Amino acid sequence: MSQRSDQVAEELRKIISLIFLEELHDPRMGFVTVTRIELTDDLRFARVFYSVLGESKE
């Protein structure tokens, strides 16, 4: 990845992590960590990888 892609991916990771932490209140989700972000070359699309710790009661 280029330096610009790395910067955009890191900023997206911060924003998405904050959304998981502060705005999504679903007890089934447990503890969510954004692990990686892959961007297209033109920075128009991102694939977000995440992991969830904790058990679902359903």
Q: Is residue 58 part of a domain?
A: no
Print the domain residue range for 22.
3-53
CATH of the domain at 38: 3.30.300.20
Confidence of residue 56 (pLDDT cuts 50, 70, 90): low
Q: Is residue 44 part of a domain?
A: yes
> What's the confidence (pLDDT) of residue 14?
96
pLDDT at residue 55 tops 70: no
Confidence of residue 58 (pLDDT cuts 50, 70, 90): low
Taking the C-alpha atoms of residue 2 and residue 29, their distance in angstroms, rounded to an integer, is: 33
pLDDT 10s digits, 7-30: 999 999 999 999 988 888 777 777
Q: What is the pTM of this model?
A: 0.78
Query: Which of the 8 DSSP states describes residue 25?
Result: -
Q: Max Cα separation, the chain?
A: 42
